[in-house]
Structure formats: structure tokens, C-alpha cells
Amino acid sequence: MSDSKAVVLVPGKIHPRVLERFEGKVEVIKAPAGPEPSLSADDAQRITAVAVSGGFNARWMDALPNLEVIANFGVGYDGVDVKHAASRGIIVSNTPDVLNDEVADTTIALLINTVRRLYEAEKHLRDGKWLSEGPFALSPFSLRGRKVGLFGMGRIGQEIAKRLEPFKVEIGYHTRSRKSELSYTYYGSLKEMAEAVDVLICIVPGTPATHKAINADILAALGSNGVFINVGRGSSVDEDALLTALQDGTLGAAGLDVFYEEPKVPEGFLSLPNVTLLPHVASASVPTRNAMADLVADNVLGWLSERKVVTPVAETPVKG
């Protein structure tokens, strides 16, 4: 970098550790997040990098004529218009791997809690009902003898599968293509897998191909003994169909960490006894979020100083 500091845009909120890492190294310009850019023409000209947690569309990119790199906070980057970035030669990076273990751990916890209703059992104790009303009701489901299908078998999906092995469940998966190095059962379609398993874990990114892929037909195929877990993207689920299936017994239970229009959660889910709800916390631990923040900073600073990005996404070219 030259003697004058490079200028980095931070639209909306981002993990404070990112800003700490930038301090003294770059000039940071903050702006409100939103669909339309809100910057002075002078600032827009000076910005060469963006650190973002959330969406960043083509209008923002086109407002920044000298933009070179966008560092996304999160492994999923569907909020960034990567196609448009690629057309302009802008590098996009994300934060893979550093959150794999945390998300996989949370997925297993969410599955067990959904099957055994542990939150409701603890509430029964805390509310004094164990003393006044007697033991908590037997959980209607168990993890014993289950067949688990993973919709998505990327790095996080593989970590989830490894954690499932000691539970003595059968494991299968559906992705666009078979992964020959894996010993798990491969299903050629999501419907085929839903018919064969009784636990379905969704860990796919939000793309047009996965949009509302978990629909009424898939849920019906999973069945009344079936359990659905979503730690991927809320956009992958038809929430109206899921709510109906849980209400009428078409589906046995669900555990959800993500929703279609976060932080809004459909009201109908809140009163159901057969659904466990988390506020998108799969990677939400201090160590993991710090590691994600460090990777965002490393991607920005690496590009500005050495024209190197640690974790570029596949769709955008790496120059230098």
C-alpha cells in the first residue's frame, strides 16, 4: 500500500473485531446498510474494499468505481451479487472452515433437543412442575435406529456426518453429484432421500436451485415419524408447508435455526410443541465469531497489501 491509507467501506453492522483489526491500517467509512447506496461521491471514489455482514448488491458495487474486493462475514454469500462482482473483476471472499465445527456441533445439539424435547423438560423442572405435577412426559421420538439424510454435503455437511457416526444411525446424502470418496449412501434426488430416511438435515446454501426445495411433497415423504432440521438457509424451506405439516401430523417434528425472513419467525411456529426454534446461532460462539472476523480482516488486508485473498469464492477470479 502507499503512504495514504486504503479506504474500506463497512455498510451496516459488522463484528467489532473486524474494525479492531483495521484500526491504524486502513481508513474505514461506515454507511447505513440498505438496497440503495448512501455515500458522498468523493467517498465512493476512494473506496477500494468492502467488509460486509449481510447483503451487497449490484447498485452498491456500481456506486464504487474503484472497488476491488468484497469480504463477506459468513460462509454463505448469497446476499452478495457475486455474478455482478465477477463481471467487474471484483474479488469476493467468505469465511469457510473456521465455523465448520461450531455449526456441526450445534446441528447435533439441535437434533437431539428436537427429538428428546430437552428444553421443554428443563422448563418443566424450572417451573416447579416436576414437584407439583410429576415427571415430564416421555418424548414421543428417539434417535435410536434412525436413518439420517443430509441435503448438502460440503465441508459443514461432512463434519455433521462424522459427528453422527457414533450415534449408530444410517447416514445418506443428496447433492448435485456423488462424492466418490464418501462411504455414505448417495441419493440421486431429494425426494428419493426423503422417502428413504426419517431425519432430514438441510445444510445447503441459499441459491435459486435450493429455493423452497423443502416443500409439501418432501415433508410428506419424510413422514409422521420424520424429523426435519434446518441449519442452512431459511430460503430453502416452504415455511407455510412446513407449518401445515407440523400442525396436522404429516411431519413429526422440526428443529430450525434459520428462517425465510429473519428475524421474523412465523407466528404459528411459536405455539407448536413439536418444533424447536433457535435465532440463527449455529456459529454464534465468541471463539468462532472471532475467527470469522479475523478471516474477513485477513482477506481485506491481504488484498490491499499483497494482492492476495485467503478465501476467495469460486465465482470470482483472483488476480495478482
The answer to whether the beta carbons of residues 60 and 37 sit under 8 Å apart is yes
Cell numbers representing residue 208 in the block = 435459486
Is the CB of residue 304 less than 8 Å from the CB of residue 295? no
Active site residue ranges: 233, 262, 280
Q: Give residue-wise pLDDT tens across range 184-196.
A: 999 999 999 999 9
pLDDT digits (tens, 9 = 90+) for 73-112: 999 999 999 999 999 999 999 999 999 999 999 999 999 9
CB contact at 8 A, 70 and 93: yes
Do 152 and 57 share a structural domain?
no
Query: Could you tell me which of 27, 139, 9, 132 has the C-alpha nearest to residue 63?
Result: 9
User: Which pLDDT does position 112 carry in this prediction?
Assistant: 98
- On whether both 161 and 258 belong to a single domain, the answer is yes
Q: Is the pLDDT of residue 2 over 50?
A: no
| 120 within 8 A of 144, measured Cβ to Cβ | no
295 and 190 within one domain = no
Per-residue pLDDT tens for 38-56?
Answer: 999 999 999 999 999 999 9
Q: What is the CATH number of the domain that holds 53?
A: 3.40.50.720
Among 239, 257, 277, the domain boundary falls at: 277
Q: Report the domain count for the chain.
A: 2
Residue type for position 247: Q
Please indicate, yes or no, whether residues 184 and 234 belong to a single structural domain of this protein: yes
Does position 3 have pLDDT exceeding 80, yes or no?
A: no
d(CA 313, CA 310): 10
Are 253 and 219 in contact by the 8 Å Cβ rule? The answer is no
Please give the torsion angle defined by the CA atoms of residues 250, 252, 258 and 262, in that order, rounded to the nearest 10 degrees: 60
Residues 270 and 138 both lie in one domain? yes
In this prediction, residues 21-45 reach a mean pLDDT of 96
- This prediction's pTM: 0.93
* Domain identity same for 301 and 235: no
Q: Has residue 209 got a pLDDT over 90?
A: yes
Q: What are phi and psi of 148, to 5 degrees?
A: -110, 130
Domain that holds residue 129: 100-277
Phi, psi of 283 (to 5 degrees): -110, 15
Same domain, 129 and 244: yes
Residues 126 and 87 in one domain: no
Q: Are residues 133 and 250 in the same domain?
A: yes
The pLDDT of residue 284: 97
Q: Do 109 and 253 belong together in one domain?
A: yes
Residues 201-217: what's their mean pLDDT? Answer: 97
Would you say 267 and 243 are in contact if contact means Cβ atoms under 8 Å apart?
A: no
Within a domain: 314: no
Does one domain contain both 57 and 166?
no
